[in-house]
Structure formats: C-alpha cells, structure tokens
Amino acid sequence: MSVVGAIRPDSWGLALFLHVAGAMVLVGALTLSSVSLIGAWRSASPALIRLAYRSLFYGALPGYIVFRVGAEWIADKEGLADSNLTWIGIGYGVSDIGALLLIIALVIGRIGVRRINRGQGASAISARIVTGLVSLVLVAYLVAVWAMTTKPT
C-alpha cells in the first residue's frame, strides 16, 4: 500500500492534508479537554473546566469541520464517495456519532461554564458527563485513526 500512496496525484494533496490536519487538531483538542477535565475532578478548579470547554469549542469543533470537509473532498477526488469499503464505513460512522456526542458535550460544558461565571460554582455532575462523552469520542476517533491507517477489509 505504500507504493499506492507514493503515486497519488498532486491535486489530491491539499484535500488529504486538510483531512489529516483537521483530524490531528480534533484528537489533540479532545485529549487536552479530557486531561483538563480529569484534573478538574481532583482539584475542583474552575480554570481547568474553562480550559476544557475552550479546547472543545476553539479546537475540537473547528478541527472536526476541517477534517470532515477534507474527508468529503478527498473521497470525492478518489472516487470513493459511494464506496462500500470497511475503513470508509468506520470513518463515516465514527465521524457522525462523534459529531453528535461533541455537540452534546459542548452544550453541557457551556452550561457548566455559565454556572461558574455566575458564581454558582462548578457542577461536578456536568464535568463528569462531559468527561465521559469526550473520552468516549476520543476512543472512537482513535479507532477511526486505526481504521484509516490499516485499512481493514
């Protein structure tokens, strides 16, 4: 498979770059958010909860958009948009479910940050829900990264 990757047309380079770069930003922001939220459990730090929410909003959400646009673009250029390949099915499935869970985590996280900003204190329950959602999405995206790199049949 490495030979096939080496002979890819130059016109596909930008689409593939956007797909991979967006996925890397997305996974990095999810990792930062997850680690921050776990740290917030231990220290009950509002600053860590804000960092976790900001990493989701300013990192994961734009990363998702760039990665998904790049995925659609490269699939169209390669003629794989209507393909029945397993690794593409895994990618689309994880991407769709991950977007839904990311939006839910953003809404719950925003509610928690608003409570902190109003002086009502951090909600441990909302922080734990967001941590669970973010961790679940992160694991699912790591499975998708595996599928994209190994291309199982």
Instruction: Tell me the pLDDT band of 74, cut-offs 50, 70 and 90.
Output: confident
Judged against a pLDDT cut of 90, whether residue 117 lies above it is answered with: no
Q: Let me know if residue 141 belongs to a domain.
A: yes
Total count of domains within the chain: 1
Identity of the highest mean pLDDT range in 6-10, 135-139, 147-151: 135-139
Average pLDDT, rounded, for the chain: 84
Q: Let me know if residue 1 belongs to a domain.
A: no
Question: Smallest Cα–Cα separation from 145: which of 82, 103, 95?
Answer: 95
Q: What pLDDT does residue 4 have?
A: 53
Residue 49 is part of which domain span?
A: 11-150
pLDDT in tens, 88-104: 888 888 999 999 999 99
Instruction: Tell me the pLDDT band of 8, cut-offs 50, 70 and 90.
Output: low
Judged against a pLDDT cut of 70, whether residue 80 lies above it is answered with: yes
Backbone phi, then psi, for 7, in 5-degree steps?
Answer: -100, 20
Q: Let me know if residue 3 belongs to a domain.
A: no
Tell which wins on pLDDT, 152 or 25. 25
Q: Let me know if residue 2 belongs to a domain.
A: no
Q: Let me know if residue 80 belongs to a domain.
A: yes
Judged against a pLDDT cut of 80, whether residue 39 lies above it is answered with: yes
Q: Let me know if residue 6 belongs to a domain.
A: no
Q: What is the pTM of this model?
A: 0.83
Q: What pLDDT does residue 43 have?
A: 72
Lowest-pLDDT range, 22-31, 56-65, 66-75, 115-124? 115-124
Q: Let me know if residue 52 belongs to a domain.
A: yes
Rounded Cα gap, residues 16 and 24, in angstroms: 12
Q: Let me know if residue 5 belongs to a domain.
A: no
**Averaged pLDDT, 35-58:** 85
Label residue 32 left, alpha or beta by phi (over 0 means left) and psi (-120 to 50 means alpha): alpha
Token digits of residue 79: 């003629």
**Residue 120 DSSP code:** S
Question: Smallest Cα–Cα separation from 133: which of 50, 34, 2?
Answer: 34
